[in-house]
Amino acid sequence: MRLEFRNIHKTFGQVHANNDVSFVVEAGTIHGLLGENGAGKSTLVKMLTGFISRDSGEILFDDKPVLIRTPVDGIRQGVGMLHQDPLDFPALTVLENFRAMAGGRWYTAADLRKLAAEFNFDLDPEEQAGNLTVGERQQIELLRLLALGVRTLVLDEPTTGISAHQKDQLFAAMRTLAGQGKSVIFVSHKLEDVEEVCDYATVMRRGGVVGSLPVAKGDDTLAARLVDMMFGRELALPSKPLTTTPTPALVLEDVVLEDERLSIHVPKFIAPCGEVIGLAGLEGSGQRLFILACAGVQAPSRGQIHLRAVNLTHKPYAAYQDAGVCYVPADRMREGLVPGLTIQEHVALRDGSGEFFLNTTAMQQGAERAIAEYKIRGTPTSFVERLSGGNQQRTQLALMPPDLKLILMEHPTRGLDIDSTIWIWKLLIDRCAQGATIMFASSDLDEIVQYSDRVLVFSGGQVSEPISTQGLTADRLGEMIGGKF
Ligand SMILES: Nc1ncnc2c1ncn2[C@@H]1O[C@H](COP(=O)(O)OP(=O)(O)OP(=O)(O)O)[C@@H](O)[C@H]1O
Ligand SMILES: [Mg+2]
């Protein structure tokens, strides 16, 4: 189905989030939607899917204007959106989830297996949804949307947090759907992904459309042109200078990390001051356990943890904070930020005056500093849930206290545009130069290779010895994650 956006406008208070957006998505194509954080991409696709209403303008399917006011209207018109965090029930099985949301028809396990097989998804209908990886939950969601008869599919940053294999499966599914004449809109910050899977790309900037262009395979100039359209200039990747010193910062001794599924033994691990350590592995391979233990959030079942010669073994989270540990979680809206609170209220939470009344002047000033320094598009009184995805991530990073000794992060640049990613890493490298040690987990292997000094690979219930990133490629790292050492 051919889809056209015609002169779409949307404002939120002062913000003109979509300003006269017009472009066409041809039937049977995959169309990339790119643009800096806050450019207006999610706003546009939310209007298409009926999650929010537009102020003016038209959406046309095969040249006929359509009215989509709610997500149910959207589904009726054949538009479905794959959410980054799928909307499922963790306590139900895959099959039960599928039935609950696939509208009307009674599916059997065999039906579901057959549907999954069409896309080479390996889903077990009897498995509990809570045990699945993000990528697998995404697969159920995709099958569900197809069962509902979706002909236009929107994916908003779907490749963050899924494995390389799941990404291949997802891209193959997108191609199959386009081959059936469906139109697919793919919102992404990853230029490699856009080059790999899209037929066309449209770039947005500050609410407007900069332009649309065809994506020809093997076009070396494409990435540079897209970057120029997005940011109006070239970007250069920073290389990490050597900031590592001989002084040990974090020392783990004979540590055992456990949850219901895993038990990982770390005989000895030393991270010096100024070093960046990347944690690589499929989601759920123990990286999170490792980070939570080093953050003092979840005590290891055995072993000793020291930071700069302070014994933190069995100490509460507050002792870790006092020792200069900061943990930036992956799920920013559930763990990192508090929905319903403004940026300045978050500053107050961080600074904690110790007095009964809040000092609103200090809160506001603190928030203004954070907004200016981290270039957050928002005001001190913006509610965090109303910020764009990338701006929520900036807010989370802006709330990091000064003078940290150990910074622990999960997917630090998830959802950030390329320019912001580069800039955040410059700030993080500065922290290393001041002596902080950084450990981060990321599903982006290029990011791990680019910025880490050493890598720990989590695979098959084990953690590797630290591996230097000198001469290491993302492909080689991918093999190690798959168990090929
Ligand atoms: N519900 C809302 N209330 C107020 N402002 C909003 C709301 N939703 C979005 N905005 C603002 O509209 C602008 C566009 O946001 P949008 O989420 O569409 O950006 P985006 O291109 O998806 O960015 P990102 O890459 O960071 O996800 C931003 O300035 C954002 O703060
Ligand atoms: Mg967005």
In this structure, are 346 and 258 located in the same domain? no
Residue 161: which region, alpha, beta or left (left: phi > 0; alpha: psi -120 to 50)? left
The predicted pLDDT at position 371 comes to 94
The predicted pLDDT at position 84 comes to 62
Scan for tokens 């940011």, then name that residue.
231
Mean pLDDT of 138-149: 89
Ligand nearest to the CA of 204: 1
Is residue 353 one of the residues assigned to a domain?
Answer: yes
Residues 483, 464: Cα–Cα separation, whole Å: 10
The predicted pLDDT at position 87 comes to 64
pLDDT over 90 at 329, yes or no: no
In this structure, are 298 and 354 located in the same domain? no
In this structure, are 198 and 285 located in the same domain? no
pLDDT band at residue 316, thresholds of 50, 70 and 90? very high
In this structure, are 105 and 182 located in the same domain? yes
- Contacting residues for 197 by C-beta, under 8 A, at least 6 apart: 30, 32, 171, 174, 175, 186
Residue 266: which region, alpha, beta or left (left: phi > 0; alpha: psi -120 to 50)? beta
The predicted pLDDT at position 414 comes to 83
Are the C-beta atoms of 371 and 378 separated by less than 8 Å? yes
Scan for tokens 């099958």, then name that residue.
143
Mean pLDDT of 330-352: 85
Scan for tokens 């793919």, then name that residue.
186
Phi, psi of 153 (to 5 degrees): -115, 130
CATH number at residue 157: 3.40.50.300
The domain boundary residue, chosen from 400, 423, 445: 400
- Greater confidence (31 vs 392) lies with 31
Task: Give tens-digit pLDDT for 60-86.
Answer: 999 999 999 998 899 999 999 987 666
The predicted pLDDT at position 236 comes to 82
Pocket flag, ligand 1, residue 279 (CB < 6 Å): no
- CB neighbour burial string for 68-98, b if at least 16 within 10 angstroms, e if fewer: beeeeebbebbbbbbbbebebeeeebbbbbb
Hey, whose CA ends up nearest to atom 7 of ligand 1?
Answer: 386
Is residue 336 one of the residues assigned to a domain?
Answer: no
In this structure, are 218 and 264 located in the same domain? no
**Which of 189, 204, 388, 413 has most ligand 1 atoms within 8 Å of its beta carbon, as the pocket-test mutant?**
388
Hey, whose CA ends up nearest to atom 27 of ligand 1?
Answer: 389
Are the C-beta atoms of 173 and 166 separated by less than 8 Å? no
In this structure, are 52 and 95 located in the same domain? yes
pLDDT band at residue 389, thresholds of 50, 70 and 90? confident
Ligand 1 nearest-atom number relative to CA 40? 18
Of 71-85, 98-112, 406-420, 422-436, the one with minimum mean pLDDT is 98-112
The predicted pLDDT at position 348 comes to 86
Tell me the HSE value of 77 on the side-chain side, using a 13 A CA sphere. Answer: 25
**Which of 43, 189, 423 has most ligand 1 atoms within 8 Å of its beta carbon, as the pocket-test mutant?**
43
The predicted pLDDT at position 107 comes to 87
Is residue 43 one of the residues assigned to a domain?
Answer: yes
In this structure, are 293 and 345 located in the same domain? no
pLDDT band at residue 89, thresholds of 50, 70 and 90? confident
344 CA to centre of ligand 2 in angstroms: 22
pLDDT band at residue 163, thresholds of 50, 70 and 90? confident
pLDDT band at residue 465, thresholds of 50, 70 and 90? very high
pLDDT over 80 at 186, yes or no: yes
Residues 415, 407: Cα–Cα separation, whole Å: 19
In this structure, are 187 and 305 located in the same domain? no
Vertex 55: Cα angle to 51 and 59 (nearest 5): 70
The predicted pLDDT at position 85 comes to 64
For the entire predicted model, the pTM comes to 0.86
pLDDT over 70 at 181, yes or no: yes
In this structure, are 263 and 226 located in the same domain? no
Q: What is the residue range of 463's domain?
A: 237-324+401-485
The end-to-end CA distance of the chain, in Å, is 47
In this structure, are 272 and 353 located in the same domain? no
Residues 485, 481: Cα–Cα separation, whole Å: 8
17 CA to centre of ligand 1 in angstroms: 6
The predicted pLDDT at position 235 comes to 84
Residue 49, SS3 per DSSP? helix
Mean pLDDT of 428-450: 93
Is residue 331 one of the residues assigned to a domain?
Answer: no
161 CA to centre of ligand 1 in angstroms: 21
pLDDT over 80 at 160, yes or no: no
Ligand nearest to the CA of 420: 1
Other beta carbons less than 10 A from residue 6's beta carbon = 14
- Greater confidence (23 vs 359) lies with 23
- Contacting residues for 254 by C-beta, under 8 A, at least 6 apart: 265, 266, 267, 268, 302, 303, 304
Are the C-beta atoms of 82 and 141 separated by less than 8 Å? yes
Ligand nearest to the CA of 394: 1
Task: Give tens-digit pLDDT for 200-216.
Answer: 999 999 999 999 999 99
State the DSSP code for 342. B
Mean pLDDT of 247-259: 95
156 CA to centre of ligand 2 in angstroms: 7
- Which residues sit opposite 310 in a β-bridge? 307
Following DSSP, what letter does each residue of 95-138 receive, concatenated? HHHHHHHS-S----HHHHHHHHHHTT----TTSBGGGS-HHHHH
pLDDT over 70 at 353, yes or no: no
Residues 124, 138: Cα–Cα separation, whole Å: 14
Is residue 439 one of the residues assigned to a domain?
Answer: yes
The domain boundary residue, chosen from 231, 263, 284: 231
State the DSSP code for 158. T
Of 238-242, 277-281, 301-305, 447-451, the one with minimum mean pLDDT is 238-242
Is residue 97 one of the residues assigned to a domain?
Answer: yes
In this structure, are 267 and 356 located in the same domain? no
308 exposure class (CB count in 10 Å sphere: 0-12, 13-18, 19+): middle
Ligand nearest to the CA of 15: 1
Pocket flag, ligand 1, residue 344 (CB < 6 Å): no
Mean pLDDT of 98-113: 83
In this structure, are 414 and 307 located in the same domain? yes
pLDDT over 90 at 383, yes or no: yes
The predicted pLDDT at position 393 comes to 87
The domain boundary residue, chosen from 163, 197, 231: 231
Q: How many domains does the chain have?
A: 3
Phi, psi of 156 (to 5 degrees): -100, 105
Pocket flag, ligand 1, residue 377 (CB < 6 Å): yes
